[in-house]
Amino acid sequence: MKKAQAKKVAIIETGGKQYLVQPGDTLKVELIRTEKNQLTLRDLLANKNVTATILTEGRHPKVSGRIFRNKVRSSRFPRGHKQRYTALKIESMI
SS3 32: coil
Domain-embedded: residue 3? no
30-75 confidence digits (pLDDT tens):
999 998 999 999 999 999 999 999 999 999 999 998 877 776 666 6
Task: State the distance between the two ends of the chain, measured CA to CA, in whole angstroms.
Answer: 29
Domain-embedded: residue 4? no
Domain-embedded: residue 48? yes
Domain-embedded: residue 42? yes
Domain-embedded: residue 5? no
**Could you list the residue range(s) of the whole structural domain that residue 52 is in?**
10-93
Q: Tell me the β-bridge partners of 19.
A: 12
Domain-embedded: residue 2? no
Please state the domain count of the chain. 1
Name the band, by pLDDT with cuts 50, 70 and 90, for residue 6.
low
The model's pTM: 0.77
**Distance between CA atoms of 94 and 76, rounded to whole angstroms?**
54
